[in-house]
Every structure is written in structure tokens, then in C-alpha cells.
A and B are shown apart, each in its own frame.
Chain A
């Protein structure tokens, strides 16, 4: 790894640039709470409804997001190497190994390591709220943290969805899965009530869900605006604007953020302001981004390539649900995602990826729709060595895209471990791929 090869992302939207003030404010508020009392602190995974956390007024942190921050500050390799020294394989999810190394250093030193990207690092958790939403490593991750480092209670939610060849509209199948989702959610709430000492306030949950859905409505509409030519928003703004979905969803602040972002992007569409001057290539991005080198998207832009759609981190997909029973609303929202994926016939992910839209359309007929709607003419697939959950299936997706006449490039690296990034080689491959697209378009 040559650190000089890594470049930070340039954001194009005013709204996402403002996050540089908004997020520190949020983290300061969190920190004040952490240091001002003995409130319980939950470490959470994506898949835990943030609305529930808000409804319990529970202090929370996201180790996955902490992993992206460690990656972008290039301190992840240090933590990952500590974990590797402890016996964790380099093949394992680098978000996880980053946390394991961080936890080991914290435990050994009795305080968070000074390399932590947040001042004071992450706090010491009093509970772990996991989710089997996306992949297998997530089941082992919090189990190992609570075994090796912090002896705290763990609840991992267990959402399942029907495989691609089972009819989710068969009422018996629907009830089979809904029963699991309902009881699992009830189990999660029981756990939270027990370990926070608070009773869930259903009214507050309903209000939080309403605000959350309002924010996600703006998010959905913003993403739809990217169909415009020229594309008004690129990946650097996309990947950074998912963060409020984790930390702030359910707050008015998030509604304001996504509304403002929508208006800014809409204005760009109206004025036909794109990200690149001459849009030669409109791409879809598959896989997790290289958080340590987000400038790669700006590099693509410098070559006239804009990514108009990303397969991952669309964690807050929007669904209409009846909020009168807020618990049933959470269950139905999860189920609707599963049904949506099923409708698109996602062969490779549904049984795994579940109710998340997280990369769930790999290989599905949703691709046909996206290629058409977003006027896509190429695909980049980031094969992340340490995350097979997201990248295993990219060859299949490539095959599906080929049938649509859309060329694609698979290149290997990682989401958090920059040791797997080879700048010159990757840029050469990207460049060569775009040239091939030129030749193909020119009939050469």
C-alpha cells in the first residue's frame, strides 16, 4: 500500500459538503452523552431499525461505519493487522477485522487507541445489537466481540426471506415468514427493554417512523433524479449521503437534509448541470466502494465517466406502510423488500440478502429496468476480497448485463483494507475498459 496513491473524494453537492459540519455536531452530542453519565451504549449493525434506537432514546454506535471511517483515514490496516496477529484471517470481512483489532487494542491499553478516527474512539458498549440482515460474518462478529473483549449481552435479529423459486404471495408462505419477522422483532424489543430498563414508547416509535419515511421519500426521489442526462449527482455524494440514514433517520434533521439534497439535485436537473462536462460513459457501480480511496470516482469523472446508480448501501429503500401499528409497519417494510426482490427474480441474493435491498438485485431483471431508466452503457464491479456476501454473484451479474449489451469490468480490491489496492494497475484497467467502450460504441 502506498498511501500517496489514496485520494479523498471531492463532493459535488452543497448538501453533502455540509455533512462535514453536521456529522461532527452529531458525534459531539453523542460524546457528551457518553461522558456525562452511565447511559447504556449499544453497538449496532445495519439491519437494526434506527427508528427503534430513537424510540428507546438509546445511545448507539455503528462499528461498520466506524470501519469506513478507519478506512478513509487509512488507519484500518493498523487495526486489521492487530486482528490478524490475533488469528483472524485476512480473508475475513475487513470491517470486522478492523473492529477486532480496535477492540483488542482498547482492551489491552484500557482506552481507545490514539489512532481512532473519532476523538475518543468508540465507547465501551453495554450491549450489542446485531443483525443477520446481510451476511454470515455478521453472526460471528458480535459473538466474537462479546467472547473476547466485552462481556456484554448480544441480540442478533434473524430476518429471512424466501428463495427466488418460492412464491412469496402464497398466503401460507407469507405467513411463514411474517411470523418469524414478527416474533424476532418482539424478541429484539424484549431484549432492548431489559437492557435499557425502558419500556418501548409506541407513540414515539410511530412518530419516528413517520419522520423516517418522510426522509426516505426524499431519498428515493433524489435517486430517481439521477436518471436525468446529464446526471446531477455522482457516487461521492451518494456514498456519503447514506450516513444520515444510519445516524439521524427519525430526526427532523434527517428530513431537512434529504429535502435539501432533493431540492439541490432537482435544481441541477432543471438547469441541466451534470457532474462531468461531457458524459461519455454512464455507469452502474456494483459492490462496496473503496472507502480509503473514494477519489477513484473523481478519477472516473475526469475521464468523462459518471456513475448514475450504485448497487449497495441503498439501505433505506422506501416502502409505503400503515403506521397505525408501528411494529407491524417495521415487519411489513422488511417483508415488502423481500417481495420486491423476489418480483425481480434475484437469483443470487434473495435467499441470502434477504429483505435488504443491499445489492439484492445482483443478476435480477431489475437490471434491465435500471439500464433503460438510467441510460446506462457500462458497469463497474468492485470485487471486494474480504466481502463475498456482496461480491460473490458479480460474474452472474456480468453475464446478465452482457445479454443486455452492457459491457462490464470486474476489478479486485477491498472496501476497508487498502493493502489490497493497486492504484496504477486498477487505474490502467479502468482506463482500458473505458477505451474498449469507446471502440465498441464506435464500431471499432
Chain B
């Protein structure tokens, strides 16, 4: 199977397109589709087991009332949105579900979803909060149990060499994504942030080889493209899950350039290769746990835990940071005051957009964005 040549033309609605595509891939390949949320359970293991990993996305702003019969209104609107989609039957193409122990709401979603709407396969990937030696050992053992459960479901044994090969395939994509990100370091970035996010969302629905082709196409086209010349404030985006480009488009329309990010579907997953270690679990633990910069993981007190962000801001020559927090997002909302103060001390202004996963009222958000961009 190869990537559709027209892929890039559809990317303005990547989340919708990716679902159409996964249905097609599933029909063509006959392979089960395993949906996942959060990034702790490696999709590499899902792929190596003969299933297709698929990053589930929400539909910001859509009606969440279908979730009301199962969960309360005072909870993460993203989680409510995903559950509402499952309840409405929109995720019927999923054969399985993998949810990681990332935050309270996501965990609760696993229990409630699988209780009311069981799937042929489901796995809750448990993750410690401390990156202690015993936390890492637990994570490695958890990788083993996760793999076993998949092997049982797909009746495919995953050998270490097959897993290593899959990791290498995914790493090729990481290299290409980093190449794309490098183009954003230039004075006039050759690629817009919303474009990149769309690409990454769409890539979450593709088998890794197909994603490689898509990334190569995108890179080639981007290198040929003449970037828009005007100088604009360079923005780094930080915060809760962003599986829709609406906010990025608003920032771009308001005259900002998003050159870097620190969000769930952004650079975190691609920043480094998964080390190709003798025991593949060592490399996966390193990548998906030890070095994976999700604020739910405890990295001790002090502002040094944000150093990686500052380093990224310097590398991409960022002028300001825009934070995005979905209602009731504890891990990000707790970090905001510490991060804001740290960035301010380092001369980087920060604006926080608090949202209920709807990007509404758009007018008010745009006004705040414009004021912030003018200010910097």
C-alpha cells in the first residue's frame, strides 16, 4: 500500500480524513485497528503485533451530551468529547482500545468506556509517575504484559527482531519530522504550524511506511515552496492535547508564526529517535517514559523541569509562548504559574488560553491573540 498522492490536498481536515482512511486501510488489509489515547503505550508494539495503531481524535466544539448518561459535566471536555463519539458509534471501526495511565480523567474514561461499550480488545497501560529505577523497571514489565495481550489478540508472536525493525521504521519518520521542524528554525519558516499539526494528525492513522512516503512528499514540496515573506512574531505552543488546528489557524490569521510546540501530538513524540537497544524495551522505556515530557510525570521540584522548553524556545528563536489549557486539565493547569514565571524571568512572555475544547468564543480568543501578538 502506498500513500495517496492526494493526501496533502485533504489535510485541512486531517482528523476527518484520517478516519476515512483508516476505514479503508482496515478493509483492504483485514488487520484489526487499535485506537489509542496518550503516548505512553508504544504504537510500535501494536504495529509489530500485526494490528494497526490509530490515534483517536476528538471533534472540538461538537455536542458532548451523548456522554452525559455516563460521566458528569465537571470533567475534561476532551474526554467527554471522545466518550460522546464512542457512544454515538462514530468509532465503530475500532477493534481495540489502549489507554495509558496518564491523567485521572483518561483513566476514568477507560473504565467507563470499556464497561458500557466493551471492545474485542482493550488494555489499560499502567505508568508510574516517578522516573525512578523501580518506576522504569515497572514500565518495562508493563511493556511485556501489553505485548502479550496484543499477541494473544492478534495471534501473532512479536519477536525482538521484529520489534526492533518496527522501531527502526518509526524512527525513519522521526528523522523526517525533525527535518520538517528544522525548516521552522529559519528566519522565514517554510512551513506553517497548522500544516505540521495536520500532517501529524493524519500520520497517526497511517501505517509507518505510508507515513514515510507522505513525509517525504511534504518535505520535497515544502523545500520548493516560497514561504510567505513577512516577518511575524515567532510562537511556541504549549499545553493540553491539541488534535485540531483551529487555534493554530487563529494564531496564524492574527499574524503569528508557530515555529515550535510542546503538546501531545507535537514534537514530544518525534524529538528523538527511540534508541535501538539490544533489548528493545530499554529503548522504548527511555523514549516513552524517561524522556517523554508529559507534565503528569514527576520530574521533581524546581524550574529545571522546564529547561527543555527554554532550550527549544532558544533553538527556534521564539518570541513568545501561547499556552492552551482544556477545562479541568490538572497537569497543565498546575504547571502554568511555575512555567509562566520561569519564562518571564527568561524574557519570554506567555499568554494562556483557557478553553473547553471548543475554541469558542472565537472572537474573544482572537482578540486576546491579537493583543498578545501586538505586544510582543
Q: Is the CB of A165 within 8 A of B334?
A: no
Tell me the chain A residues, 132-153 only, with Cβ under 8 Å from chain B.
132, 135-137, 139-148, 151
A132 and B129: CB pair below 8 A?
yes
Task: Kindly list chain A residues whose C-beta atoms are within 8 Å of the C-beta of B331.
Answer: 136, 139-140
Interface residues of B in 95-133 (CB under 8 A from A): 101, 103-105, 107-108, 110-112, 114-115, 122, 124, 126, 128-130, 132-133
**A92-B334, A347-B112, A395-B68 given; A154·B301 CB < 8 A:** yes
Known contacts: A140-B331, A156-B298, A187-B134. The answer to whether A392 contacts B141 by CB under 8 A is no
B residues near A164, Cβ cutoff 8 Å? 111
A to B CB contacts below 8 Å, 27 in the list: A88-B334, A89-B336, A91-B333, A136-B330, A136-B331, A139-B129, A139-B298, A143-B301, A144-B334, A144-B335, A147-B303, A148-B337, A148-B338, A154-B301, A158-B128, A160-B101, A163-B124, A176-B141, A187-B134, A346-B111, A349-B108, A351-B101, A351-B124, A385-B74, A388-B74, A389-B104, A392-B108
Q: Tell whether B71 is near chain A: CB-to-CB under 8 Å.
A: yes
Q: Do the beta carbons of B74 and A392 come within 8 Å of each other? A: yes
Chain A contacts of B141 at CB under 8 A? 176, 179
- Check B72 for interface membership: any CB of A closer than 8 A: yes
Q: How far is the CA of A393 from the CA of B72 in the complex (A)?
A: 7
Residue of A nearest to B132 (CB): A187
User: Is B286 an interface residue when CB atoms closer than 8 A count as contact?
Assistant: no
Q: Collect the chain A residues with CB atoms within 8 Å of residue B132's CB.
A: 158, 183-184, 187
- Does B75 reach chain A (CB closer than 8 Å)? yes
The reply to whether the CB of B252 lies closer than 8 angstroms to some CB of chain A is: no
Contact digits for B123-164, partner A, Cβ 8 Å, 1 yes 0 no:
010101110111101100110010000000000000000000
CB closest residue in chain B, given A145: B301
Cα–Cα distance between A144 and B105 once the two chains are bound (Å): 21
Residues of B within 8 A of A391 (CB): 72, 74
Which partner residue on chain B sits nearest A153 by CB separation? B301
Q: For the complex, is A418 an interface residue (Cβ under 8 Å from B)?
A: no
Using C-beta atoms within 8 Å of the partner chain, give the interface range for chain B.
Answer: 35 or more
**In the assembly, what is the distance between CA of A344 and CA of B129, in Å?**
26
With A and B bound together, what is the CA distance between A170 and B135 in angstroms? 21
Query: In chain A, what residue has the closest Cβ to B124?
Result: A163
Q: Mark out the residues of chain B between 265 and 311 whose CB falls within 8 Å of any chain A CB in the assembled complex.
A: 295-296, 298, 300-303
Q: Cβ of B375: which chain A residues have Cβ within 8 Å of it?
A: none
Contact B122 A165 (CB under 8 A): yes
Q: How far is the CB of B360 from chain A (nearest CB, A)?
A: 18
Contact A412:B124 (CB < 8 A) given known A86-B337, A88-B337, A144-B334: no
Is the C-beta of B1 less than 8 angstroms from some C-beta in chain A? Answer: no
User: Given A140-B330, A156-B130, A351-B111, A146–B72 Cβ distance below 8 Å?
Assistant: no
A162 proximity list for chain B (CB < 8 A): 126
Nearest CB of chain A from residue B212's CB, rounded to whole Å: 34
Q: Does A214 contact B (CB under 8 A)?
A: no
Cβ of A352 < 8 Å from any Cβ of B? yes
Contact status B330-A165, CB under 8 Å: no
Q: A137-B334, A351-B124 are in contact. Are A383 and B111 (CB under 8 A)?
A: no
Cβ of A426 under 8 Å from chain B: no
Q: Which of A91, A136, A389, A392 contacts B296 (CB under 8 A)?
A: A136
Q: Verify B130–A347 contact, CB threshold 8 A.
A: no
Q: What residues of A have a CB within 8 angstroms of the CB of B295 in the complex? A: 140
**What CA separation (Å) do A158 and B300 show in the bound complex?**
13
Contact B338 A156 (CB under 8 A): no
Tell whether B340 is near chain A: CB-to-CB under 8 Å.
yes
Indicate whether B354 reaches chain A with its CB closer than 8 angstroms. Answer: yes
Contact yes or no, A184 B134, CB < 8 A: yes
| Interchain CB contact under 8 A, A156 and B129 | yes
A392 touches B129 (CB 8 A): no
Shortest A79–chain B CB gap in Å is 15
Which residues 102-118 of A sit at the B interface, judged by CB distance below 8 A? none
Chain A residues with Cβ under 8 A from B133's Cβ?
A: 183
